[in-house]
Amino acid sequence: MAAIELHDAVKTFGPITAVAGLDLEVPEGICLGLLGPNGAGKSTTMRLLTGQAIADSGELRVLGHELPGEAKTARGKMGVVPQLDNLDVDVTVEDNLAIFARLYRVPDVGKAVDKALNIARLQERRRDAVDELSGGMRRRLLLARGLVHEPRLVLLDEPTVGLDPQIRTELWTLIGELKARGTTILMSTHYIEEAERLADEVAVMHEGRIISRGRPVELIDEHAGHQTAEIYGPPDRLAETRAEAESRGLAVRPAGPAIAVVGSEKADGFVPDDAVVRAASLEDVFVLLTGEEAE
């Protein structure tokens, strides 16, 4: 049984189609990265899975429970780590965890709180109010709150968005530990590096659909080949080079101040000598497939 099964799920908001016939299966025990630009439908997909949004049509099943009818039972078996910090800031760290242990009907609240404090490495701060914690500690607490009932499935919605690199690395370590314990993870992100580091498989989402899916190396191999050549220079030269590359049927994408010729190993001597040649990356795949700049 897959942990998550979505078949032809559609969700619209007035004239906007956020999820457009989404098919997604997440087997138990893997970490699937849902990678897409802002507005791709990732957060709406997460809300569909928790029953906080109701699909207009399609079949949705989480841990064997049909949604939205059995969403409450399904939520009891999954943990959710939201994009936005919604901790109770005046309340202590341990009370924040205890409240959610009760909401999840955990039989031994004290033991669950101790375990979650260990995960968040906040044992020493358990009696401090949340607003006394640093940003990194708060994010760790938010993650631990979603794990307080030891769920089989965890939904991570942009877990490190807006965080500085040090805190992001801390979070990645915690998520890595969660993966190592075999918990099924669905992680939405628009950070390429996050998906590359953490996800066993990546599903690229664009305009409400999955447009490609596979292990990162498979996606790179399928869509970007082996190497990418980055060409720098004045705008006129870049425009000329781009036009020539495209006339040869090569995939070209913007790369900040440069242009990147993706799959440049097939360029048959076209690549200029001053180009920077590197291994093709998931970022190349993302930009080629979605047309959006990566972060």
The residues of the shown chain that bind other proteins, judged by CB under 8 A, are 11, 13, 28-29, 44, 47, 50-54, 70, 72-73, 75-77, 80, 82, 84, 86-88, 90-92, 95, 98-100, 102-108, 112, 129, 145-146, 149-152, 178, 181-184
Min dist CB 13 to other proteins, Å, is 7
Cα 115 from chain centroid (whole Å): 25
Min dist CB 160 to other proteins, Å, is 18
Min dist CB 115 to other proteins, Å, is 9
Min dist CB 154 to other proteins, Å, is 9
Min dist CB 197 to other proteins, Å, is 20
Q: Are 208 and 19 in contact (CB under 8 A)?
A: yes
Burial 73-98 (b: 16+ CB within 10 A, else e): ebbebbbbbbbeeebeeeebbbbbbb
Query: Which lies closer to other proteins via its Cβ, residue 68 or residue 233?
Result: 68
CA distance 175 to 158: 12
Burial degree of 38 (CB within 10 A; 0-12, 13-18, 19+): exposed
Query: Which lies closer to other proteins via its Cβ, residue 135 or residue 257?
Result: 135
Cα 272 from chain centroid (whole Å): 36
Q: Are 170 and 180 in contact (CB under 8 A)?
A: no
Min dist CB 188 to other proteins, Å, is 14
Q: What is the DSSP string of 132-163?
A: GS-HHHHHHHHHHHHTTT--SEEEEESTTTT-
Query: Which lies closer to other proteins via its Cβ, residue 153 or residue 204?
Result: 153
Are β-strands 57-62 and 209-214 bridged in parallel, bridged antiparallel, or unpaired? unpaired
Min dist CB 183 to other proteins, Å, is 4
Query: Which lies closer to other proteins via its Cβ, residue 13 or residue 244?
Result: 13
Task: Return the structure tokens found at 33.
Answer: 């990265």
Query: Which lies closer to other proteins via its Cβ, residue 1 or residue 236?
Result: 1
Min dist CB 86 to other proteins, Å, is 4
Closest CA to 231 of 218, 215, 249, 250: 250
Query: Which lies closer to other proteins via its Cβ, residue 75 or residue 190?
Result: 75
Crossing angle (nearest 10°) for helices 165-180 and 135-146: 20
Distance (Å) of CA 224 to CA 13, 106, 164, 189, 227? 34, 47, 29, 21, 7
| φ and ψ of 108, to 5 deg | -110, 90
Query: Which lies closer to other proteins via its Cβ, residue 15 or residue 234?
Result: 15
Query: Which lies closer to other proteins via its Cβ, residue 69 or residue 291?
Result: 69
